[in-house]
Each structure stands twice: as structure tokens, then as C-alpha cells.
Amino acid sequence: MADTISAPPTTGRKAPLNNPIARLLTPEGTLTEEGERVAAVSDATLRDLYRLMVVMRRLDQEGLNLQRQGELGLWGPTLGHEAAQIGAALALRETDWIFPYYRDFGMAIVRGIDPGQILTVFRGLRHGAWNPQQYRFGPFVIPVGTQIPHAVGYALGCKLDHEQTAVLVGFGEGATSTGDWHEAMNFAGVFKAPVVFLCQNNQWAISVPISEQVAGRIVDRAAGYGFPGVRVDGADALAIYAVTQMAADHARRGDGPYLIEAFSYRLGPHTTSDDPTRYRTEEELAPWRAHDPIVRAAERLRQRGAWDDTFAQACQAEADERATQMRQTLIAATPDHPASVFDLVYANPPQSLLRERDAFVAELAPETPQEGH
């Protein structure tokens, strides 16, 4: 009888993750020539990316103006995030969901939420200024990282319901140091939830630089949870759009989660309560200011022969008009009735909640005067 030759023991290491998306990017995180061919992003889409980034920047500046004028309690500037937010949100289908963090103002604009209503949250008038079901867009979440388990849970629900839905969740690199992020990543990897994790790495968790927060690269952590990831130039709207579209397709096909690290820089303060001059210099900002996502989108349109001054002027005019409308909507807004906190808790409210709401409203109502008083 011949000797039996057994296979050598395994090392316990998995084979490299299949990641065709990564092969379409340069080491700098932009699309290769092959990547641009595969993505096949039209001139019309690129013009939409440019237009919406111009609108987002103008509205962001108006939000800052309103806070400085005492009309908002707080504002979190988005300067430097335009490409990541507009590119990612525009790449999704209308049936996909977005779970934002507090700085994802641009994504809300793409989803058609009234920016003036959004600002009522920062004026302290409302807890939730839109119906998440209507826009397939969750509420802004202030506690760092807590929206990430929400997104994974919803994505798993979509999978169990056999829906062809991708769920995108936005967060900053600071959130990757939270337990919520790690637990959500692990859960998504184990159950192959159709979720796209979008890390907007602006290199500052308030005043803590990325070098003092993360050992290694954030994107490399995806492999530890059993799914692929890629780092993209966070100022390149075209690359963000293409990669997000492919990652969302990956999720909808049932291939599980995907991590996108959009590497950029926070050009403004963390919020209007922050003074970034205390921990960084203007010299550090200079190269990133030259890396402007709007300027880069304009240059790509010129290269394609799809640019003209009339288009640029129309984009700026739209942005200015929408900023005026946003201001007017905010100033005219009034507080919601206190009972509105019950409205968006359940799709089908249980009777116990309805009774609680009715009792609450009754307590708020003025007492009926007694006869003779």
C-alpha cells in the first residue's frame, strides 16, 4: 500500500480578500485610466458633482455666517468634505439608505432635504427636522460613532427581508476609536450585512491628530473583519463617486460590507466652538487648500471639453439663491409642538405609546376655566 501523504497543517490565515475595486485606483487614490473606463462616469454626472459641491460650500458658509450672527447655537463646517459627501451620496440609488453623522450636511442636500429645516436642529428648535423614511436618510447623530451600529442593524434587516438595498454610513476617523465602530464592523463582517462604511478621514478628531489616534491605516483594518476596503483621494469627487457606486453594488449583490477611507483634510474648525489655530498652523493647511475638490472637478470638466463659464455662473447663482432661501426658512421657523417627539418613534405606534402621547398632550393643554371663575 502506498504511503498516504497528508496536506501540511494550515496556518489559520485566510486567502487575500478579493478586491477588484482597489485595482482600479492609483496609489494616490485616484482612478487609473482603466478605472475611468470601467466607471464610465458621464459628463452630465460630473457636472452634477461640481454643481452640488458648489451649492454645499455656499450653504456651509451661510451656516457659519448664521452661527456667528447668533442665529445658530452651533455649526460644524464642512469645508474640505465636499467631494466625499456629494460623491458618495450621488452614487447611491434612491432606494439605498444613508445613516449620517453630524457633519454629513452635503449628503442631506443630495437627498433633497430642505437645508433650512436641517438648520432648525442647530438652532435648537427641533430634535428631528425630517422623516427618515421619506428621504431614506437617518437623523444627524451627535454622539461619536453611535450611528454605525444603527446602519449595520438596518442593513441586516434589509438582507433578511431580501431587499436589494445598500446602506451607507458616514463617520469621521475619530469614530474608528470607539467601541461602537469595532462592534459594528465585526457584526457586519460576520453576517455579511450590505453596508458601505465611509470614513471621512480629515486627519483631526477635534484637536487630536490622526498620528496620535490610529496606528497604521484605517482602511487596512477592514481585512481584520473579513471584508475589503480601499483608500480614496477624499478631494476627488469622481473617484469617490465611482468607488462608492461599485462598493454599493458589491453590498447589494450579497457580497457583504465594504470600507471606504476618504483621505482628506478638515480645512475649518471642528465646530464653531473650536479654535484650530491652537493646535495647527497655516503652513499645514496650504497644500490642502491647493487640493480643492471643486477646482479639481472644474479642471476635469475642462479636460473633457464639458466646461463653460455660463455653467459655472449658473451653479453659483443657484448656490446663492438657495443660501438666501435657507436663511429665510430658518429665521421663519418656529418650535415644533412638544408632542412631536412621539411622531417618528414607530412606523406603527403601539397603543401604549399613543395613550402616553395623549396624556402628555392633555397635561400641556391649558385648564378649562370653571364656571363662575
Which residues are the active-site residues? 266, 270, 279
Q: What does the buried/exposed string (b/e) look like for 279-309 if buried means 16 or more CB atoms within 10 Å of the residue's CB?
A: eeeeeebeebeebbbbebbbebbeeeeebee
Q: Please, are residues 165 and 183 in contact by the beta-carbon 8 Å criterion?
A: no
Q: How many CA atoms lie less than 13 Å away from 241 in the CB half-sphere?
A: 27
At 120, is the secondary structure helix, strand, or coil? Answer: helix
Q: Please, are residues 325 and 116 in contact by the beta-carbon 8 Å criterion?
A: yes
Q: Please, are residues 50 and 315 in contact by the beta-carbon 8 Å criterion?
A: yes
Task: State the cell numbers at 80.
Answer: 474640505
Task: State the cell numbers at 257.
Answer: 460590507
The answer for residues whose C-beta is within 8 angstroms of residue 333's C-beta and 6 or more apart is 116, 117, 120, 123, 125
d(CA 137, CA 279): 34
Task: State the cell numbers at 126.
Answer: 427641533
Torsion angle of C-alpha atoms 197, 52, 304, 292, degrees rounded to 10: -70
Strand positions, DSSP E, the chain? 97-99, 167-172, 195-201, 204-205, 208-209, 229-233, 258-263
Task: State the cell numbers at 149.
Answer: 451600529
* Secondary element (H or E) of residue 89: helix 82-91
Q: Please, are residues 217 and 262 in contact by the beta-carbon 8 Å criterion?
A: no
Q: How many CA atoms lie less than 13 Å away from 230 in the CB half-sphere?
A: 26
d(CA 285, CA 365): 55
